[in-house]
Amino acid sequence: MVFKRRDRRSPIRIASEFVYPRGGWTRAFHYVKHRIRRLPDSPERIARGVGAGVFTAFTPFYGFHFVIAAVISRLINGNLLASLSGTFFGNPLTYVPIGVVCLQTGNYLLGDEFDEGETHGLMDSFFKALSDLKNNFLAMFTDRVADWRGLAVFYDEVFFPYLIGGILPGLLAGFICYYLSLPVVRTYQQRRRARIKAKFDEIKRLAETKVAVPVAPPVGSERNSEKEPSDV
């Protein structure tokens, strides 16, 4: 295939690059920023897409952030690719801080007490819930016994508070990223248009200069014209 990688990555390498990409997170951030600025769309739609993606990073729907960001971007008339890029606001370096903020806010809004020790196993709780969900799904086709108690506890103690608590900080972060990315994209596009216009003007000037230069007659053409007899 044309777009197939020449060097196949092992599962261990894929997992390690997900936690720490090649070149570091700084390079990955600049790469995403560069791709967002070069999107062929209006600055307003691109900024709305970025805001939608950042907001999605505060939702507990891990594994479905791309889908949710695309739906939200569609609803607010944002750029789809920008929304997908904005979801990278949630990454292995920010998942735990985002989870702590969402759980603290959610428990506060629901009137529950928040135990900070629960955040240490936040990602582990999500993986255990996915494992229980898989086992219960397999129980439909095998002789396994389905047990929904673990998922019920996870929903009451983690998922629902996370879902409620992620709305306000997600909206705040989304609006901040919208207003920060809007002037950046607009300035970049204006400078890019100015560079392209200057390049075309230079090409046009060179073409006009080349046309304006008189073409010299071939050597000996004047001498031959003198020798030709004139019509009587």
CA 11 to CA 5: how far, in whole Å? 14
In a domain, 5, yes or no: no
In a domain, 3, yes or no: no
In a domain, 69, yes or no: yes
CA 54 to CA 63: how far, in whole Å? 15
In a domain, 76, yes or no: yes
The pLDDT of residue 52 is: 94
In a domain, 224, yes or no: no
The pLDDT of residue 216 is: 58
In a domain, 204, yes or no: no
Structure tokens at 3: 């777009």
CA 148 to CA 146: how far, in whole Å? 7
Q: Which domain holds residue 21?
A: 11-192
Contacts of 31 (CB under 8 A, 6+ apart): none
In a domain, 1, yes or no: no
The total domain count for the chain is 1
Question: What does the pLDDT profile of the chain (232 residues) look like in tens digits?
Answer: 443 455 565 554 544 444 445 555 455 545 555 566 566 678 898 889 999 999 999 999 888 898 999 999 999 998 888 888 888 888 777 888 898 899 999 989 988 876 665 555 666 777 777 777 778 777 777 877 777 777 787 888 888 999 999 999 999 999 999 999 888 888 887 887 788 788 887 887 787 787 665 555 655 555 555 555 555 4
Q: What is the DSSP letter of 93?
A: T
In a domain, 208, yes or no: no
Q: What is the reported pTM?
A: 0.68
CA 103 to CA 105: how far, in whole Å? 5
The pLDDT of residue 188 is: 81
The pLDDT of residue 85 is: 84
The pLDDT of residue 95 is: 83
Q: Quick check: 165 and 107 in contact, CB under 8 A?
A: yes
The pLDDT of residue 3 is: 38
